[in-house]
């Protein structure tokens, strides 16, 4: 029956596949069987007892309790079996193992944003290591979306103002399609994402250097992304507005007066130091509240921030 399964279902690539495919094929065969069984009975009855004369007399059979019990109880037993089978798979897909890696997935019209444990964020491309349980915490910023990976046999709604979860352990490295399956307007059918199931080495590279998208991105563009995604934007404006920290606008090659009264030239080294050791120089008039980004930014991202600030004249 494998050819029939492969005709009906996409290839499976998560630990949930076996359970679901088994039940799917069981009900499929049941459906095919009963279609031909009922169809066969009808066809036979029509052939055998087609009316030949209007005078024909038919037997007056009102009911048959035993027969009716048979065709009530057998279906009852079958559907209870299906219920238990389906419940078993659902429970398994519901309860994530304790050692799952947690990734936050946020849907918004019409993209998926992923946030990894180390603070890395990606748009529409989700990287996960093969054979490791991954728990996705889903939410939405606008309307309801739904996160669906056919190859994993998984789906869960992303609901604004709530958190829902799904977990999987991918079994085969490769790229898998993610669809939005809750209607969300004009871009619903283009709200596609991809899951990259990486080998451990590929995943290491991803963590170190970012995904393909960010690796190819020009530095200034990446710098803006870091500013948006890594929390810089909370305190540092781009338009000269005073925030918790000094604005980045036009500071390149200017002088910053530190709390100690000395002047410091804003150059690449100064910015690097301010990111990694923010307490070394605190600009006069500001609180020493910035946390260090040691270990949270990749080398390329620090360079990107420097390039980005350079451009902000």
Partner 1 sequence: MSEGVLHAGAGHAVHHADYLEEPKGLWSWLTTVDHKRIGLMYMWSVLFFFLVGGIFALLIRLELLTPKQTIMDAETYNRVFTLHGAIMTFLVIIPAIPAALGNFALPLLLGAKDVAFPRLNLASLYVYWTGAAMAVATLALGGVDTGWTFYTPYSTTTGGGVTLMVLAAFVLGFSSIFTGVNFIATIHKLRAPGMGWFEMPLFCWGMYATALIQILATPVLGITLLLIVMERVLGVGIFDPQLGGDPVLFQHFFWFYSHPAVYIMILPAMAVISEVIPTFSKKTIFGYKAIAFSSVAIALLGFLVWAHHMFVAGMSLFAGAIFSFLTFFIAIPSAIKVFNWIATMWRGSISLEAPMLHAISFLLIFTIGGLTGLFLAALSTDVHLHDTYFVVAHFHYVMAGSNLIAMLAGMHYWWPKMYGRLYNKKLAAISAAVIFIGFNLTFLPQFVLGSRGMPRRYFNYLPQFQDLHVASTIGSWVLAAGLFLTAAYLLASFRQPKGMTANPWGGRSLEWETSSPPTTHNFEGQPVLQHGPYDYRPEPAPVGVKELAH
Q: Which of residues 190-209 bind partner 1 (CB under 8 A)?
A: 190
Stretch that binds partner 1, among 82-90, 118-126, 210-218, 227-235 (CB under 8 A): 82-90
The reply on whether position 1 binds partner 1 by CB under 8 A is no
| Phi and psi, residue 127, nearest 5° | -105, 130
The reply on whether position 4 binds partner 1 by CB under 8 A is no
Is residue 254 within 8 A of residue 266, CB to CB? The reply is yes
Instruction: Determine the Cα–Cα distance for residues 216 and 193; give it in Å rounded to an integer.
Output: 18
Subset of 111-150 contacting partner 1 (CB under 8 A): 142-144, 146, 148, 150
Angle at Cα 93 formed by Cα 92 and Cα 98, nearest 5°? 80
Instruction: Determine the Cα–Cα distance for residues 102 and 90; give it in Å rounded to an integer.
Output: 20
CA distances, 37 to each of 30, 41, 81 (Å): 10, 6, 20
Subset of 42-71 contacting partner 1 (CB under 8 A): 42, 45-46, 49-51, 54, 56-64, 67-68, 71
Stretch that binds partner 1, among 17-25, 224-232, 258-266, 285-293 (CB under 8 A): 17-25
Residue 34's CB: how many other CB atoms inside 10 A? 12
The reply on whether position 10 binds partner 1 by CB under 8 A is yes
Subset of 19-38 contacting partner 1 (CB under 8 A): 19-20, 23-24, 27, 30-31, 34-35, 38
Shortest CB 213 distance to partner 1, Å: 20
Q: How far apart are the first and last CA of the chain?
A: 67
Subset of 144-183 contacting partner 1 (CB under 8 A): 144, 146, 148, 150-151, 153-157, 159-162, 164, 177, 179-183
CA 222 and chain centroid, separation:
23
The reply on whether position 304 binds partner 1 by CB under 8 A is no
Is residue 85 within 8 A of residue 21, CB to CB? The reply is no
Subset of 234-293 contacting partner 1 (CB under 8 A): none
Nearest to 284 by CA among 267, 268, 262: 262
Stretch that binds partner 1, among 74-82, 98-106, 196-204, 304-312 (CB under 8 A): 74-82
Subset of 207-236 contacting partner 1 (CB under 8 A): none
Is residue 178 within 8 A of residue 192, CB to CB? The reply is yes
CB nearer to partner 1: pick between 142 and 269: 142
Residue 125's CB: how many other CB atoms inside 10 A? 18
Shortest CB 165 distance to partner 1, Å: 9
The reply on whether position 302 binds partner 1 by CB under 8 A is no
Q: By CB neighbour count within 10 A (0-12 exposed, 13-18 middle, 19+ buried), where does 173 fall?
A: middle
The reply on whether position 83 binds partner 1 by CB under 8 A is yes
Nearest to 136 by CA among 86, 101, 177, 92: 101
Is residue 214 within 8 A of residue 225, CB to CB? The reply is yes
CB nearer to partner 1: pick between 57 and 263: 57
CB nearer to partner 1: pick between 63 and 295: 63
Structure tokens at 274: 């301010």
CB nearer to partner 1: pick between 43 and 253: 43
Shortest CB 173 distance to partner 1, Å: 20
Structure tokens at 12: 């499976």
Shortest CB 58 distance to partner 1, Å: 4
CB nearer to partner 1: pick between 153 and 298: 153
């Amino acid at each position: 029956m494998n050819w029939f399964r492969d005709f009906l279902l996409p290839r499976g690539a998560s630990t949930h596949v076996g359970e679901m495919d088994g039940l799917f094929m069981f009900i499929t065969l049941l459906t095919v069987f009963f279609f031909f069984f009922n169809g066969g009975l009808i066809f036979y009855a029509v052939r055998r007892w087609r009316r030949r004369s209007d005078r024909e007399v038919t037997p007056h059979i009102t009911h048959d309790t035993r027969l009716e019990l048979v065709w009530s109880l057998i279906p009852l037993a079958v559907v209870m079996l299906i219920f238990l089978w389906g419940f078993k798979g659902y429970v398994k897909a519901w309860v994530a193992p304790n050692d799952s890696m947690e990734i936050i997935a946020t849907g918004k019209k019409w993209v998926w944003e992923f946030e990894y444990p180390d603070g890395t964020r990606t748009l529409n491309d989700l990287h996960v290591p093969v054979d490791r349980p991954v728990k996705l915490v889903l939410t939405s910023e606008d309307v309801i979306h739904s996160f669906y990976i056919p190859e994993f046999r998984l789906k869960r709604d992303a609901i604004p103002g709530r958190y829902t979860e799904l977990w999987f352990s991918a079994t085969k490295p490769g790229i898998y399609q993610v669809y939005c399956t809750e209607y969300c307007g004009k871009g619903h059918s283009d709200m596609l994402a991809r899951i990259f199931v990486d080998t451990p080495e590929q995943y290491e590279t991803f963590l170190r250097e970012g995904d393909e998208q960010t690796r190819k991105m020009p530095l200034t563009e990446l710098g803006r992304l870091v500013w948006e995604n890594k929390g810089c934007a909370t305190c540092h404006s781009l338009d000269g507005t005073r925030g918790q920290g000094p604005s980045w606008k036009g500071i390149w090659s200017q002088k910053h007066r530190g709390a100690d009264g000395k002047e410091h030239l804003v150059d690449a080294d100064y910015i690097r130091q301010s990111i990694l050791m923010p307490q070394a120089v605190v600009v006069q008039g500001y609180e020493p509240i910035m946390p260090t980004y040691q270990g949270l930014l990749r080398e390329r991202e620090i360079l990107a921030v420097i390039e980005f600030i350079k451009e902000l004249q």
